Amino acid sequence: MSALALAEVPSRSGDLAMPLPNGWIVGPNVNGVETFRVAPTAGVPEAHASLAVVALASTNTNPPLSREQRNSLGGVSFTDLRRNVIDKMISAGGWVVNDRQREIGSHRVFEVIAQTPGGKDGKPDQVWNFYFTEIDGRIYSLTTHAENSATIRLANDAEKFLSTFSPLEAKAKRN
């Protein structure tokens, strides 16, 4: 089985019930944030991921202008989402490297890439990817972080996760 294959046992915590990428182990749900430990494989170090609802989509009945719509998810501007990441990186001593908007699976995604420096204790630099997507009126953030040597595998896993992501309530509405 490749690193991109999905595990047969889905996560069943909170409103999440879906297959996880291989090696993703469900951790504790802390204040509504689903956490995952990504097991090390073939010399690639352990990594971490988390999934949370970060905002509710705007209920504004006025349709957004096309530029506003292109630069937002569910009525929340990319600037606000990026600012959220910048604030986290400032408190962690890190910085934002880049951001971009993408389609992953059928989801429109705003991705912010950031980095934190290694520690004096020998801990290596960490690369952080923040993926924001809107599903059924909620804006979700999938955050991953790992040392540089694990980022390609982790990004592939995160994209696989997002391409199949569907909260329980969304599935219930479709049935």
> Could you give the CA distance from residue 85 to residue 7 in angstroms, rounded to a whole number?
29
> Could you give the CA distance from residue 56 to residue 128 in angstroms, rounded to a whole number?
23
Contact assessment for residue 97 and residue 115, using Cβ atoms and an 8 Å cutoff: yes
Contact assessment for residue 6 and residue 157, using Cβ atoms and an 8 Å cutoff: no
CATH code, domain carrying 158: 3.40.1000.10
DSSP lists the bridge partners of residue 84 as none
Q: What is the pLDDT of residues 7-56, one digit of tens each?
A: 333 444 445 567 789 889 999 988 889 999 998 877 777 899 999 999 88
Question: Which sign does the torsion angle of CA 56, 61, 65, 66 carry?
Answer: positive
In a domain, 64, yes or no: yes
Rounded to the nearest angstrom, the gap between the alpha carbon of residue 1 and the centroid of all alpha carbons in its chain is 23
Strand segments (E) across 1-148:
11-13, 16-18, 24-30, 33-38, 47-56, 72-73, 76-77, 95-104, 107-116, 126-135, 138-147
pLDDT on residue 125: 92
> Could you give the CA distance from residue 21 to residue 33 in angstroms, rounded to a whole number?
18
Q: What is the pLDDT of residues 106-162, one digit of tens each?
A: 899 999 999 999 888 888 899 999 999 998 889 999 999 999 878 888 999 999 999
SS3 166: coil
Contact assessment for residue 149 and residue 173, using Cβ atoms and an 8 Å cutoff: no
How many structural domains compose the chain? 1
In a domain, 16, yes or no: no
pLDDT on residue 10: 41
pLDDT on residue 8: 33
pLDDT on residue 62: 61
In a domain, 9, yes or no: no
In a domain, 153, yes or no: yes
pTM of the predicted protein model: 0.82
pLDDT on residue 149: 78
In a domain, 96, yes or no: yes
Residue with more model confidence, 55 or 61: 55
The domain containing residue 98 runs over which residues? 23-174
Burial of 124 from C-beta contacts in 10 A (0-12 / 13-18 / 19+):
middle
